[in-house]
């Protein structure tokens, strides 16, 4: 009986991970829009 419980726990753990990976996005990043470039371009000859 312990084997079935262990298999059930492993299956549940894996399915929750798959659901989190392929589920809807729940990130809470602020909407800041496009930012202008304000640096120096990279140049190999320097």
pLDDT in tens, 12-35: 999 999 999 999 887 777 778 777
Give the global pTM: 0.52
**What is the pLDDT confidence band of residue 9, given thresholds at 50, 70 and 90?**
very high
Distance CA 20, CA 28 (A): 15
**What is the pLDDT confidence band of residue 44, given thresholds at 50, 70 and 90?**
confident
The answer on pLDDT for 46 being more than 60 is no
Name the one residue in this structure whose structure tokens are 């729940």: 26
The pLDDT score that the predictor gives to residue 2 is 93
Nearest to 11 by CA among 25, 24, 19, 23: 19
Query: What are the tokens at 16?
Result: 């929750």
């Amino acid at each position: 009986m312990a084997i079935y419980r262990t298999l059930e726990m492993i299956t549940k753990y894996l399915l929750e991970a798959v659901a989190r990976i392929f589920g809807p996005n729940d990130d809470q990043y602020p909407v800041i829009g496009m930012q202008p470039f304000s640096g120096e371009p990279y140049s190999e000859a320097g």
